[in-house]
Amino acid sequence: MKNKSFIQWCGLLGFVSFFSYALAVVFAPRAYPNYLWMQRAVSDLSAADAPSFVLWTRLAGLYGITGITCLMMACVAIRGKLNKPLRLGIYLFTAMFWVSVAGYAAFPLSQSGGQGNTPQDIMHLVVTGIVVVLSIVSLVLIMVGSFRKKYKASLGVCAAVALFLMCVGAVGTGVAPDELFGVFQRFSNLIAVNGFLVVLGMYLFFGKLEGEVC
């Protein structure tokens, strides 16, 4: 523990980011009368007109800055290390997180439960599309790089689980009853993406994002 570098300690910020976001997801509905979390999207809580907007902003205040710091330090740690697909995958995952934090802050839903009818809502959907594509591509690349010659295979397994949960969330929101929409939506944004952020943070903390190029 005493020999850990500053960069490695930044890996713990992945936990802080996840905890901040989870607090907002769990407790912000208390400021939103009649909000049924099993049916409603998380983004409804942070919509510009949502009664929970202020509480969400406070609870999720550490989410973006700590998550970005953790991932940027991971990018520094892997510079010139690992294999190309794995390194590129982590870079793209970091880019995805940047787009998510900056994009949703700039373009929150204009109205809770909005259907994308305003320019702001349309941009919110565009950001979502970019985040989804970057998430999928980055996780696939991490899997490819991790499983190459069984190189850091455990990270590949975690990426595969995250990708599977994203698919479960996407399929579930499309085919499940409306009463369960919110449940499946949380598979993607809370468990899959932010859960994998914690995994990368732990790899960084324990010095596992190292190795020769192969």
Burial class (CB in 10 A: 0-12, 13-18, 19+), 138: buried
Q: Helix, strand, coil shares of the chain as percentages rounded to 5?
A: 75, 0, 25
Q: Is 39 within 8 Å of 64 (Cβ atoms)?
A: no
| The length of the chain, given as a count of residues | 214
* Residue 120, CA distances (Å) to 28, 56, 108, 200, 210 in order: 22, 19, 7, 32, 41
Rounded to whole angstroms, the Cα distance separating 31 from 25 reads 11
Total Cβ atoms within 10 A of residue 184:
19
Rounded to whole angstroms, the Cα distance separating 65 from 157 reads 27
Task: Going residue by residue through the chain, which has 214 residues, state the pLDDT in tens, using 9 for 90 and above.
Answer: 568 899 999 999 999 999 999 999 999 999 999 999 999 989 999 999 999 999 999 999 999 999 999 999 999 999 988 899 999 999 999 999 999 999 999 999 988 876 668 889 999 999 999 999 999 999 999 999 999 877 788 999 999 999 999 998 888 888 878 888 888 888 887 889 999 999 999 999 999 987 655 4
Show the CA angle centred on residue 200, arms to residues 173 and 92, nearest 5°. 70
